[in-house]
């Protein structure tokens, strides 16, 4: 399928160091971005679908790197069907499993956690709710696992490993297991802060520095944050990526953002939601955290906040999405200021503390909807399908 977006006012790349691309068009084919900037009349004419952005903004699809998946588009914690498809309407085109912790009766023995990780990986390998790409299958590190188990999991395709919910005596017991997972090519993640479920323990800077995982999960609190002095240790004594989540402590979110910018290591700053948990289902969670960062405290450039939700996550998790560049996965949002708001562009709205209207979502090069999201107000501009050779109506009914 060939898809083009034309008449863009601004293209935000997802790269905080080079946040803008020059031009007004994006061309996609067979799930990949072909060109960003200018497009010939012939390339537009050859497209199956052409979206007229009417002067709106293009950004990469959001990557939520902390979603509590189970099986399918269902959450037993909130007893809700269709939450992932709803997240697409908030601009999230990729979800990464935090771990399969919310399966009722979750097994805790080595055979059980291995089976659960493989099953979740396989279930989501080709299942795309609402067009979202879902990376399931994060093995929960439990006592009794040995290096051969992690080697076996990696051989079956499981590439995520999570520490922090196991029945260990002390968090330092994770050090060896995390090293095994890293040795076999897995991305390693660790719960951070106070205990979030019965039976788990708090994990602080000293534990994380000893484990040295790739990602400190919800470093701003999930839901309870570390002591303030631990944040400086994490930033200055490690190279661990620091993930902040909507379902966490907003004050420490802003603290982390200041610390990473101070040392010029913003690549380590990741945005996620940590949902659905006790905090609920949050289809606009990624966008809320972007606007919090861009509008509160020592305001972060909105393009940087967008990078924290896109390109930074892609780099740390080794994904081909997250950037609006040729050769990358064709996951694109068209955003605008909301009708009735005080600002006229999506970036101005986010800097003002408002959400932006999601005017179109394209994932894997396929338009999922064009014109309006069911989870945001309508855009100010007339974002529409200008050419369509596919027998599908991409316009959504009013909500």
Ordered by start, the domain boundaries in the chain are 2-60+323-388, 62-283
**pTM for the model:** 0.97
Q: Are 143 and 166 in contact (CB under 8 A)?
A: yes
pLDDT along the chain (399 residues), means of 10: 98 98 98 97 97 98 96 92 97 93 86 95 96 96 97 98 89 96 98 72 92 97 91 97 96 97 98 93 97 96 98 98 98 97 97 98 98 95 96 71
DSSP state of 84: H
Q: Provide the token pair at 214.
A: 């790739």
pLDDT of residue 308: 98
The alpha-helical segments, DSSP class H, found in 281-363 are: 285-295, 302-309, 311-317, 346-351
Q: Which fold has domain 62-283?
A: TIM Barrel (3.20.20)
Beta bridge partner(s), residue 363: 366
Q: How far apart are the C-alpha atoms of 231 and 219, rounded to whole Å? A: 8
Q: How far apart are the C-alpha atoms of 61 and 322, rounded to whole Å? A: 7
pLDDT of residue 135: 97
Q: How far apart are the C-alpha atoms of 380 and 130, rounded to whole Å? A: 24
pLDDT of residue 199: 56
DSSP track, 221-248:
-SSSPPPHHHHHHHHHH---EEEEETTS
Q: Provide the token pair at 133.
A: 């790409």
Q: What is the dihedral of CA 279, 284, 285, 288, to 10 degrees?
A: -120
Tell me: domain 2-60+323-388, CATH 3.40.50.720, correct?
Answer: no
| Count of alpha carbons within 13 angstroms of residue 215, beta-carbon side | 30
pLDDT of residue 277: 87
329 contacts: CB under 8 Å, gap ≥ 6: 31, 32, 33, 133, 319, 320, 321, 364
Q: How far apart are the C-alpha atoms of 144 and 108, rounded to whole Å? A: 10
Q: Provide the token pair at 370.
A: 């064009």
């Amino acid at each position: 399928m060939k898809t083009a977006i034309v008449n863009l006012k601004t293209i935000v790349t997802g790269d905080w160091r080079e946040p803008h691309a020059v031009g007004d068009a994006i061309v996609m084919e067979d799930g990949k971005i072909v060109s960003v900037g200018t497009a010939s009349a012939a390339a537009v004419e050859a497209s199956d679908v052409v979206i007229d952005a009417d002067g709106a903004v293009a950004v990469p699809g959001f990557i939520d790197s902390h979603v509590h998946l189970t099986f399918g588009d269902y959450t037993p914690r909130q007893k809700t069907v269709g939450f992932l498809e709803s997240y697409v309407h908030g601009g999230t085109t990729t979800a990464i499993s935090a771990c399969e912790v919310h399966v009722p009766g979750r097994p805790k023995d080595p055979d059980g956690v291995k089976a659960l990780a493989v099953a979740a990986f396989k279930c989501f390998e080709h299942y795309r709710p609402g067009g979202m790409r879902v990376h399931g299958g994060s093995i929960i590190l439990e006592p009794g696992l040995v290096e051969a188990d992690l080697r076996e999991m990696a051989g079956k395709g499981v590439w995520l490993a999570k520490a922090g919910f196991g029945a260990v005596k002390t968090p330092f017991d994770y050090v060896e297991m995390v090293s095994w997972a890293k040795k076999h090519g897995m991305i390693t993640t660790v719960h951070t802060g106070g205990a979030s479920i019965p039976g788990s323990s708090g994990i602080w800077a000293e534990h994380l520095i000893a484990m040295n995982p790739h990602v400190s999960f919800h470093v701003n609190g999930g839901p309870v944050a570390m002591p303030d002095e631990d944040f400086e240790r994490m930033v200055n004594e490690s190279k661990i990526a620091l993930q902040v989540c909507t379902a966490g402590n907003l004050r420490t979110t802003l603290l982390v953002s200041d610390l990473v910018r101070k040392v010029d290591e913003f690549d380590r700053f990741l945005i996620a939601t940590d949902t659905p948990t006790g905090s609920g289902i949050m289809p606009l969670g990624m966008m809320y955290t972007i606007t919090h960062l861009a509008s509160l405290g020592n305001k972060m450039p909105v393009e940087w906040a967008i990078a924290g939700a896109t390109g930074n996550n892609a780099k740390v998790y080794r994904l081909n999405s997250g950037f609006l560049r040729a050769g990358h996965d064709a996951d694109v949002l068209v955003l605008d200021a909301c009708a009735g708001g005080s600002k006229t562009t999506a970036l101005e709205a986010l800097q003002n503390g408002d959400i932006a209207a999601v005017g179109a979502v394209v994932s894997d090069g396929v338009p999922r909807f064009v014109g309006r999201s069911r989870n945001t107000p309508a855009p100010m501009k007339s974002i529409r399908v200008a050419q369509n050779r596919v027998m599908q109506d991409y316009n959504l009914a009013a909500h």
